[in-house]
Amino acid sequence: MGLDIETDYCYQNIDRIVGKAKTLGNFVRIDMEGTPHTQRTLDIFFRLRQKYDNVGIVVQAYLYRTEKDVRDLNKVKAKIRICKGAYKEPPDLAIQKMKNIRANFIKLSELAFKEGVNPAIATHDDRLIKWTKEYAAGNKIANANFEFQYLYGIRNKTFRKLAEEGYRVRCYVPFGTHWLPYFMRRMRERKENVFFIIKNLFKK
């Protein structure tokens, strides 16, 4: 979208996409890259949110800053997608231990459920899926008011079962001619990403 070229140039490109999507009745969610792009991505989102109601944003549970970001996003009724985070980030910016990332994911999800709008729970983690189902049931949150999201090809049977149980499920499919460089870049960013793909290919 041109964020590394110039922020306003990127904003104009996304503005055209979101504006066109609005005329077609579609929704656009802005993905999140590594921390050098986090604040600028959020700045662009908040500008777009002033004009459009069909735009959402992704937040990463492993970043220390994300709790404040979620609180700020909830104030403008942003539709957020919560994921763990896939990039290798320094310990002063990101939580390093998986058990602590999971704990923060749950904390952020609670904030999104209590104060936000239709949160998207983007995880292949059985413990987080189980927690989400139990939290929603225990707080009488209708299935229509949140959704699970996953990467195409990872745990397909698990998410098909969730759909059969009546949950909303959305599949994330990288699209375009540069899908292979995209995947290779994501795997190079963090060795855990390679282990994640291999492990989950053999899970149902």
CA distance 133 to 143: 9
Q: Is the pLDDT of residue 144 over 90?
A: yes
- CA nearest to 10, candidates 34, 30, 35: 30
Residue 202 confidence (pLDDT) above 70: no
| pLDDT at position 151 | 86
- Pick the catalytic residue: 29, 81, 102, 155? 81
pLDDT > 80? residue 184 = no
Poorest-confidence range of 98-102, 181-185, 188-192? Answer: 188-192
What would the pLDDT profile of 172-181 be if each residue is shown by its tens digit?
887 888 777 7
Establish whether 40 is a catalytic residue: no
pLDDT value of residue 178: 77
Q: Which domains does the chain have, with CATH numbers?
A: 7-201 (3.20.20.220)
- H-helix or E-strand containing 11? helix 7-24
Predicted pLDDT of residue 86: 85
Which of 4, 8, 31, 126 is labelled catalytic? 31
User: DSSP letters along 160-192, please?
Assistant: HHHHHTT--EEEE---STTHHHHHHHHHHH-HH
Q: Is 126 a catalytic residue?
A: no
